[in-house]
Amino acid sequence: MSDIRILIVEDEEAIAKMIAMNLKVANYNTSIYYDGSEAADALTGDHAYDLALLDIMLPGMDGFELLDEMKKYGIPVIFLTAKDDIESKVQGLKGGAEDYIVKPFDVLELLVRIEKVLERNQKFSNTEKVLDIEINFKEHTIRQNGHEVVLKPMEFSLLEVLIKNKNIAISRQRLLNMVWGTDYYGETRTVDVHIGQLRKKLDWGEHIKTVSKLGYRLEVPV
């Protein structure tokens, strides 16, 4: 488990647990608060969070007020709320939030946005150990058991996406968009070919799972 800590403040237990479930799978640590003022109180003791996901309409203290608390400790904030009026969005983003996501949201989108915010705020280390490899995102190098594995640029990007979304199934179309870009008119077979290359080069045949009718998932023990 990585040491990235994410604070969730959401008064709906069902939603808070659902987010936590996904974040845990994506290898983040989470703390949940159901009440705004409780969260603010808890911050005075422990504020070593890398990111906060805040609802706006909260009992105790609303999300906008909590945002100011978060700014005190330099914690980047993503609003996660049912309020989709322009005024709230402007207030949230101008107030200093990194992002504003309207409910209901796509779980994968939430994860990608979290990742982008963490990247912007340099919360990731350049290197990460996954299974038997050590990957350096900055230098684009991979070492497996002390030997360097040479990957083509697209293969590396694909591996990066899989690692950053560990344990989550991603469709071929989505992988195509995330790695090759939305303006790439290739076929999804391109993805299959590159996945095949990754499995072969890293000997990860059993780790990169094909999920029927959906796509691929990198399975890492949590």
Partner 1 sequence: MKIRTRIIVISCIMVMISSVTVATVLLWFAYGSMSKEAYAEANKDAYTCFNDFDINIKKYAEIDDLDVYAEYYLKTATDRKTVCINHENNKEVYNSTAIDKESLINRKYKTDQGMGYSYIHYGGGEYIIFQSEYIGKYVLYRIEDVSYVKSNIYKLAFYGVLVLAVVLCITFMLLAILLKRQFIPLQRLKDTTKLMADGMYDVRTDVKRDDEVGELGKSFNKMAEAVEKRDKNLKLFMGNLTHELKTPMTAISGYAQTMLNVKLSEDEAEEALIYICDECKRLERMSKKLMRLLEIENNGDKLEFREIPVNKLFDETIKTCRTVIKGKNINIECEDDGTILCVEPDLMTDVLVNLVDNAVKASDNGGKIELTCSNKLIRIRDYGCGMASEELEKIMEPFYMIDKSRSRKNGGAGLGLALSAAILRRHNVKFSIESRPGEGTIVNLQFV
Residues near partner 1 (CB under 8 A) are 11-15, 17-19, 21-22, 25, 34-35, 57, 59, 82-83, 103-108, 167-170, 214, 217, 219
CB of 73 to partner 1, least distance (A): 25
CB of 208 to partner 1, least distance (A): 13
The residue among 57 and 72 lying less far from partner 1, judged by its C-beta, is: 57
CB of 103 to partner 1, least distance (A): 4
How far apart, in whole angstroms, are the C-alpha atoms of residue 22 and residue 8?
Answer: 12
The residue among 26 and 142 lying less far from partner 1, judged by its C-beta, is: 26
CB of 72 to partner 1, least distance (A): 26
The residue among 57 and 93 lying less far from partner 1, judged by its C-beta, is: 57
The residue among 115 and 142 lying less far from partner 1, judged by its C-beta, is: 115
Residue type, 187: E
How far apart, in whole angstroms, are the C-alpha atoms of residue 99 and residue 141?
Answer: 31
Contacts of the segment 199-205: beta carbons below 8 A, 24+ positions apart: 201/149, 201/150, 201/151, 201/155, 202/133, 202/142, 202/144, 202/149, 202/159, 204/131
CB of 5 to partner 1, least distance (A): 20
The residue among 158 and 170 lying less far from partner 1, judged by its C-beta, is: 170
